[in-house]
Amino acid sequence: MKIKSTRSMEGIEKSLKKIKVQTEAPVDSWNPKFCGNLDIRIVKDGSWLYQGSKINRYSLVKLFSSILKKEGDNYYLVTPAEKIGIMVDFAPFVVTAINFLGQGKSQKISFTTNLGETFDLNYLHLFRINFNPKTNEPHPYVIVRKNLEALIDRKSFYRFVDLACIEKYRGQDWFGVWSHNCFFPITQNKNLYD
């Protein structure tokens, strides 16, 4: 049974203005009671919708993303006083740019999200890929912070795959990338789109 929140988006925004929220709020230390769900949905392209309409205020989306928390398969906007459920279709963030510096094992790959967060691919920001069982379409993800992921957009994923090579990984040949002297496997079959 879904509980509808009596809170509005504007009410949450007013509450947030009372507390200082930086790029990453301490949401793991905030454990308020669940207040219900709010009709906010993050769709595949990273857009935030409120009651079906796109939220066009970048500063508001950025603020909301700073108080986002994932528990199990559920996403919440969390303040010290409230915990409100929202829907996320694929991932709360989208990687829109990829950069790299250097070559080979010591190269450094960095990602930038639709909300301007930049981070390096490393053991804190792991990469994974799911394949659609019907179409074999890849859905690549990378951890942005804690257990919040970004879906890597198509153009960035093509650039990512261009950096890949074949390496021995756990005794088998894998197609993958190096970043910060760590190998990140993509697939054992380098023909991702066959």
**DSSP track, 127-141:** EEEEE-TTT--EEEE
Tell me: do 145 and 100 sit in the same domain: yes
Mean pLDDT computed over 105-120: 96
Report the amino acid identity of residue 99. Answer: N
Final residue before a domain boundary, out of 88, 116, 145: 88
At 20, list the tokens: 């200082």
Looking at the chain, the whole-number percentage of residues with pLDDT higher than 70 is 85
pLDDT band at 132 (very low <50, low <70, confident <90, very high): confident
Tell me: do 158 and 100 sit in the same domain: yes
pLDDT band at 1 (very low <50, low <70, confident <90, very high): very low
Q: What is the pLDDT of residue 12?
A: 60
Which residue, among 72, 110, 114, 107, has the nearest Cα to 93 in the 3D structure? Answer: 114
Which residue, among 135, 110, 125, 113, has the nearest Cα to 192 in the 3D structure? Answer: 135
Q: At what angle do helices 58-66 and 9-17 cross, to 10 degrees?
A: 70
Q: Would you say residue 104 lies in a domain?
A: yes
Final residue before a domain boundary, out of 41, 68, 88: 88
Domain count, the chain: 2
pLDDT band at 113 (very low <50, low <70, confident <90, very high): very high
Tell me: do 68 and 145 sit in the same domain: no
CB atoms within 10 A of CB 26: 11
Tell me: do 84 and 139 sit in the same domain: no
Mean pLDDT computed over 97-125: 95
Q: Which residues pair with 174 in a beta bridge?
A: 167
pLDDT band at 189 (very low <50, low <70, confident <90, very high): low
Mean pLDDT computed over 133-143: 92
pLDDT band at 20 (very low <50, low <70, confident <90, very high): low
* pLDDT reading at 3 higher than 50: no
Mean pLDDT computed over 20-41: 84
Distance (Å, rounded) from C-alpha 96 to C-alpha 121? 14
Distance (Å, rounded) from C-alpha 25 to C-alpha 105? 34
- Tell me the residue range of the domain where 16 lies: 9-88
Instruction: Give the contacts of 18 (CB within 8 A, at least 6 positions apart).
Output: none
* pLDDT reading at 178 higher than 90: yes
Q: Which residues pair with 4 in a beta bridge?
A: 37
Tell me: do 55 and 124 sit in the same domain: no
Q: Which residues pair with 87 in a beta bridge?
A: 41
Q: What is the pTM of this model?
A: 0.84
Q: What is the pLDDT of residue 137?
A: 87
Distance (Å, rounded) from C-alpha 59 to C-alpha 25? 15
Which residue, among 89, 82, 107, has the nearest Cα to 13 in the 3D structure? Answer: 82
Q: Please say whether the dihedral angle defined by the alpha carbons of residues 45, 62, 115 and 146, taken in this order, is positive or negative.
A: negative
Q: What is the pLDDT of residue 98?
A: 97
Domain containing 26 — which CATH number?
3.10.540.10
| Average pLDDT value over all residues in the chain | 88
Final residue before a domain boundary, out of 39, 73, 88: 88
Half-sphere exposure of 18 (CA within 13 A, CB side): 8
